[in-house]
Structures are given as C-alpha cells and as structure tokens.
Amino acid sequence: MNIKKINIPFCFLLSFLIINGTSLFAQKLTLNKKEYFEKTGLNVLVFNNEYNGFFFDEKTAGIELIHHGVRTSTGGAVRLQNTPEQWDLIPTLVEKNVDQANKSIAFTLRYDAYDFDSKITVTPEGDGFQIVISLDQPVPESLKGKAGFNLEFLPSAYFEKSYLVDGKPETFPLYPSGNTAIKSSKNKTPQFGGHNTFDDRGLDEYIIPRPLSQGNTLVLAPEDPERYVKIESESEIMLFDGRNLAQNGWFIARSILPANQTGEVLKWYVEPNTIENWVRKPNIGFSQAGYHPDQKKVVVIELDQNDTPLKEASIFEVTPSGEKVKRLTVDTEEWGEYLRYNYLKADFSSITEPGLYCIEYGDQITNTFSIDANALKNVWHPTLDVFLPVQMDHMKVNEAYRTWHGEPFKDDALQAPVNIEFFDGYSMDSVTDTKYKPLERIPGLAVGGWFDAGDYDIQTGTHCRTILSLVDSWEYFKINRDQTFIDQETRYVDIHRPDGDPDILQQIEHGTLNLVAQIENIGHPVRGIIVPRLHQYHHLGDASTETDNLPYNPDLEPYETDGVSSGTLDDRWAFTNRNYRLDFSTVAALSAANRALKDYNSKLADKCLRLAKKLYTEAREIMKTAKPDRYSRWGRFNEIAAALQLYIASGDNAYAERYEELIWPALEESSEWTLSIALNALPHMDENFKKKLKKYVVKHKAEITALKADNPYGVPISTRGWAGNSGVIEWATTNYMAYKAFPEIMDKEDVTRGLDYLFGCHLHSNISFVSAVGTRSKKVAYGSNRADFSFIAGGIVPGVLILNPDFPENKEDWPFFWGENEYIIDIGAAYIYLANAVNELLHEN
C-alpha cells in the first residue's frame, strides 16, 4: 500500500492501526470454486448476479463487495448516468469468462441501443484488486462524457462516517444535500411514456447531480476498519450521492470513459481493508415471539466458516429481580454446511416452566423471549389491526394523532391504451377486451380494494388470494376481533377504534367491493389498476396526493380544472386484457366471500355468487380456445380452486364433479401446488376422497423430511429473486391442514416450525420478519413509509434473499430492497391464518 499517495496524516493513520488492532497488509484475494474472489473479511462478486430486464436495476448486479459479512457495494459496471435510477438503461451481460489459471474474471457488457460494447476484467492485485475497462471501438459520439464506470456504495453502511479525496476530508451526508443542475430533457430518453425524475408540469428539463467531490484517490471510511475502501486511478474519480434523484439511490464512485480511445481505457485499483483473522459473529436463531411450553424449542446457530463450533449452549431465566439464572446447558449438534455458513443446533425443549429467558452461546447472550401458554396468542393482531387498514384504498385512514393517508384515487380509472409494455409487469395487447376506448373513463371503480404492496396499485390476483385467506380465517377460527372503525359510506377508517363489527368481515367486504366493481363496470376482472407515469409510480408519501383526485376531462388543458374534473392526465389506468386464469381466481374469491358475507352484507354476498357463476361459465368457454402456454397449468389449478369454492358456496354437485375430475390429475402433476386445494375440500367430501388423498400426504411428509436434510431450518427456502416467506407460510399452512386430517402422518412441529422461522429462527439474522411482533422485529421495511426508514406494524416482509451463489441477505438498515423488505397484502392475510392455526394446535389439549 502506498501511504504517501493517500496523504493521510501520519498520526491519524497510526491511531487507526493501533486503536483498531488491525493490519492493512492482509492476505491476498483468491478465486474460489464458486467463481468469486475471497479472503478473510472480503468477497468480490463479479456478475454472479445480473441486471434484471423486468425490474431493471435491483442493486444486485455487476461487481459487488461483501465486506466483513455485509454487502456494502454493488453495480460495478459501465453505466450511462452519474447516478442511475432503477428504470434507467441497463447493460446486457454478453459474455463472462472465469480464468482459473490466471485468477481473473472478465465480462463483456452491451448497450444494444447504442451498439456499444465494453469489456471489464477483474484481477487480484496487491491487497486488493484491479478493474480494467477495455474497448474495441471508441465510445459512441452520443455517449461521450456519459458512459463511465460506476461502483455503488450502500449509504447506510457509510452514514456518520467520513471520506478522503486526495487527502481532503469530508463527511458522508446523512441526508442528501449535494448540488444539482438542470439540463434539457431532449437528450434523455423517456421511458414508459413519461419522465424519469420529474412530473409533467410542462417541464422539458431533468435534474443531474453534481459530484460531492472528485480526485484520483478516494478513501471511504478511513476511521472504520470494517468499511475502509481505497480506490485509486490515473483517471478522475467522482463521488456522487444518488439520493438527490431517488431516495433509494446509493453513493457512487464514477470515472468517465475517455473519448476516441480503444484498448485499455480505464483502470481502477480497489483496496478494501480486511481485519486479520476476522470472524463473523454467530447468528443465534430463535423465535423472538417466544414459545408455548409444549412447543419444540430448537435453536439454530449460524457460524462463519472460519469459526470454531462450541460444544455447549445454555438457557438462562431472567427472574423478577433481574437476575439471570442458568436453567439448562445442552450439547450442540453439528448440522453441517449450507450455502456459505456452518450450522449447529441446540434443543431446549425440556424447558417448559413459564418465564422470561435468554440463550448463551460463547460470549453472546441473546435478548429475552418468553415461554408461556399465551406467548403466541396475539401475534396476528397488528396485521389485522394496523397493516391491512393502512393498505386500504379509496379510504381515509387515521390512527390516533396520525393520518396514514387521505382518501386516494377518487378519479379511478381510465381504460389503458393498447399495444404497450408497461412497468411492474403490466402490458396491453392490440385490443382492450372492453367497450371502452383507450383513455376513456371507466365508471364505478373508485371503491374498495387494497394497495397491493409498498406501492399504490391494485393487483387483482393478489386481492383474490387475500380474500381467500381472510375467509379461511373467518370460517376456520371465527375471528371476531373488533379494533377498527371502517365506514364505507364516508370512506373513513380509524385504527384502534371498535365499531361493533368483526374487522375481518369488514376487510373481506372491502376487497370484494373492488372485485365486484371491476366485473360490473368492465365485464371481467382485470390485471390491475396502476398510475400512468413512472414519476407517480415511485411516489412516496400520502397516497391521496399521487393524483389530483379529479376525473380526467380531455376538454380541459393540463392542470386546468372546473372544480369537478381536470385536464391533468394523472388518473390510474385499468389494464383490461382478459385472462381466464384470473377469472378462475376471482370466481374462487367471490364464492368464498359469498359465504363469509351472508349474514353481514347479504346483498353483496348474493351478488358475489351470481357473478362467480357467470364468470366461471365464461372462463371455461375462453379456456377451450386459448392457446397453450407455460401458464396453462395455472389455469387448470385455478379452475380447481374455483370449482371447489363454488361447490361449497352453492352446493351444486356439478361443481363437485368438475372438481374431482381435475384434482387427481393435478395432484399427480404437481402436488406441491395443489395439495392445499385438495386438503381444503376434505370437510366437504366423502371418506373415499380422504382415502385417495392419503398417499399424497405421505409423499408430502417425505418431502418435509428431505427438507430437514436440505437446510438446517427444515423449511422451503427460496433461491429466486424474491425471498421466500410467502412460501414458508403456504407450506406451514398446508402442513396444518394435513395434520388436522392425518395426525398419524404429520407432526405439529411441521406447522410451528414455519412460524418459528418467520419469528427469527432463520438465516442471516434473528429478527422477527413481522414488524412489531416479537422482542426484536423488522423496523426498516419497504412499505409506503420506507423513505422514513420506518415500518407498518403487522406487515410481513419477504425475508432472506439468496444472492448467487451463496449469500443470504436481509437488510435491516436499508428498506429499498423490495425482494427482501416489501410488504404484500396476501402474505399478511395468509399469516393471520397460520398464526391462528398454530395457536389452535398448541391449545388443542
């Protein structure tokens, strides 16, 4: 390391070395069999994860650093903006070459729109690594001064820390406060018919951030040995704050590619400090919500690969006097390796005395948790009391001194245009499948429904799943809890204020109202209803301010209003192409809602069943002529659920016959996805049905046993781009239904283990993934208030995301990873069911 180049004052550097007891001259990076570079305290991933053509930049691609166990840097690639936003143009990975002989990784990126390729080679050098950008052809004329190499750093990893640029000290801003400039938007390609960083109030400009600083040597966090990174280059390095444009922006180190040059055009030397003999602290996984005395209490301890397993763990009781008294010491059991960590288990099931406890492993003592017969009794209350009300569309939602949002989207909705590919998976083909012309107002849609997730669209498929789960909770557990005032007439919700009606019925009614409005006013359920501009879609704040709440009037000028309508084209669009799979899902939801609402809103209940029957007949006709595709089996599976729910609601044996015709082939094809539908039918079928179903439950139990060998938590862990808590909930719920029908095959623990996983016995950390439930829970999440680094009580996040090839992650200090941290309504509804199921099992004796 060249200390003179950095120009750090000698006394500062000396104190840095002495106080932190670490060496800046650590071991060298090696290229491992998993095809990334590693040494103690550092991993350098090189396009192990790619940019996503669906969501564009998810901040999980390119060159990435896992620095002392935390992914602190991402996005190392040639980009076309100083601070790229999520929807800005991304490069395609053309080729990647891992050269084990020369210990290097090279990859080629391409921007098709500009016929522009770049090659980037990463090679260990000194105590860090070298990045070399090579060009076969010069930077295109239109990209001169725009194409550059970016490496992004996680803001929360550098909050309250400093940086040096050519020796000059600065502090990372806690809140974006850097300078910006305005340029004409003529050269910035708009996407999705709108604007990237601004609304459309006549603006023909866009914002560009100015560098916080610039020089040839950048040192991040020189005072912190865990976060210290040095970057050197003969080319100028600029440091930007991406949060000036978007709250989810990162700190970005960037060098512009030189014009009119080929060959090796840019070199960076990157040297992250590593602490000698660094070992990640063990993660002691247990239920933050506590345990029932009769529950199995198995702690899972996650260890760094360089850690030495300890042979014992202990449990202490915290007495009323505050004393910690050791109650039990057990031998740990080595489970083995999973992904990048090693695992131990410690079984404290013999502790059954009610009380407050904590766990000791080595020099770590956990926070406290309870063992009590009622430990899990109320864990679902925040989801029903707070999360679902906050997500209610077309209502003003109040909580004590706080208004979560005013009444939004009074202007719903316009017919979406045809022939468009939209953001968030929305699209329209060449027809509307309705009587409405593009951008014509569809009446009657400003009623009911929930915000799907951390954004403000209505997604009908999610609504259907939410209604089904809520109805199941009502029918199985008769939940009569009333803690929310909901008035459909005045469009007003008041949290923590009883109104005499069961909240769960009011929520079922609210979701159903929107489904019925879609069918009555459009003719069929629709893919969803979403804002028309990207600048609206990434809106943060009060949902009622996302539009002007006045119906669009094409006879008025933009921003002109006559008091009842406006010329502002900000109304949400209904994406109306018909899909028989969605029809079947809606049939199931409406049929279930019919039963739940019979004695609460009989008029709506009758309408649900009438529309469900009509929609089912239409969907079956459409399915006959539909071209087979990769989603065809979901159409069959959705029809099974529709036929079952119609049979239960109507008693018509024709639906039962159709259900039986479909269910057995489906179980053979994919029991993983259809077993729960079969188990749901058991109370309504004869004994012969149960006998035939038994073999599939036996098969399912064998799969559960295999899961215990696959990972130390014994639950299905997703390795896709969206974390897997929803799958864990669905799996545990299926296990509950199977246990109720076949207790001789299934175990209670197959159900409770799923809830333990959600509450903290999981990879990466031990926080509860249900906000405000458990001693330590998710307090920074991707909800509508994510810009405030806050949470919504009762929301359930997706959980631990597995980044290729082996890194589990769930950020607790950065809410903007939706695949890890975004609340979704159907997960919340399914969780309510599972929590009640577990409580029933634990109290059945």
Q: What is the pLDDT of residues 16-60, one digit of tens each?
A: 443 344 444 458 999 999 999 999 999 999 999 988 877 778 899
Within a domain: residue 552?
A: no
266/343 same-domain check: no
Residues near 675 by beta carbon (within 8 Å), at least 6 away in sequence: 667, 696, 697, 700, 734, 738
When divided into structural domains, the chain yields a total of 2
158/266 same-domain check: yes
Q: What is the mean pLDDT of the chain?
A: 93
Beta bridge partners of 364: 361
Pairing of strands 324-331, 312-318: antiparallel
Phi-psi category of residue 588: left, alpha or beta, with phi > 0 → left and psi -120 to 50 → alpha: alpha
Distance between CA atoms of residues 350 and 453, nearest Å: 41
37/56 same-domain check: yes
Distance between CA atoms of residues 545 and 539, nearest Å: 9
Given 345, 371, 397, the domain boundary residue is 371
214/354 same-domain check: no
Local structure of 97: helix, strand or coil: strand
Within a domain: residue 61?
A: yes
Structure confidence at residue 701 (pLDDT):
97
Given 272, 294, 310, the domain boundary residue is 272
Within a domain: residue 240?
A: yes
Q: What would the two tokens of residue 306 be?
A: 């360089």
768: DSSP letter: B
Of 648, 649, 703, 628, which Cα lies nearest the Cα of 673?
Answer: 703
Distance between CA atoms of residues 415 and 454, nearest Å: 24
User: Is the Cβ–Cβ distance between 267 and 119 less than 8 Å?
Assistant: no
Q: What would the two tokens of residue 450 be?
A: 């929930």
Structure confidence at residue 630 (pLDDT):
81
267/292 same-domain check: no
253/315 same-domain check: no
Within a domain: residue 624?
A: no
246/361 same-domain check: no
99/232 same-domain check: yes
260/327 same-domain check: no
CATH number at residue 299: 2.60.40.10
Distance between CA atoms of residues 24 and 17, nearest Å: 8
Within a domain: residue 357?
A: yes
33/91 same-domain check: yes
Q: In what order do the strands lie in the sheet with 283-285?
A: 283-285, 298-303, 341-347, 333-338
User: Is the Cβ–Cβ distance between 690 and 737 less than 8 Å?
Assistant: no
216/295 same-domain check: no
Of 732, 748, 631, which Cα lies nearest the Cα of 675?
Answer: 732
Within a domain: residue 74?
A: yes
Q: What would the two tokens of residue 463 be?
A: 């609504």
CATH number at residue 149: 2.70.98
pLDDT tens string 583-632: 999 999 999 999 999 999 999 999 999 999 999 999 999 999 988 888 88
Pairing of strands 213-220, 298-303: unpaired
Structure confidence at residue 330 (pLDDT):
98
pLDDT under 50: residue ranges of the chain? 1-25, 187-198, 202
227/328 same-domain check: no
Given 331, 352, 371, the domain boundary residue is 371
Beta strands in 613-720 (DSSP E): none
Structure confidence at residue 194 (pLDDT):
31
Q: What would the two tokens of residue 350 be?
A: 């013999």
Within a domain: residue 317?
A: yes
- Please tell me the chain's helix, strand, coil percentages from 3-state DSSP, rounded to the nearest 5: 30, 25, 45
Structure confidence at residue 584 (pLDDT):
98
Instruction: State which residues form the domain around 311.
Output: 283-371
CA 423-425-426 angle, to 5 degrees, is 75
Within a domain: residue 332?
A: yes
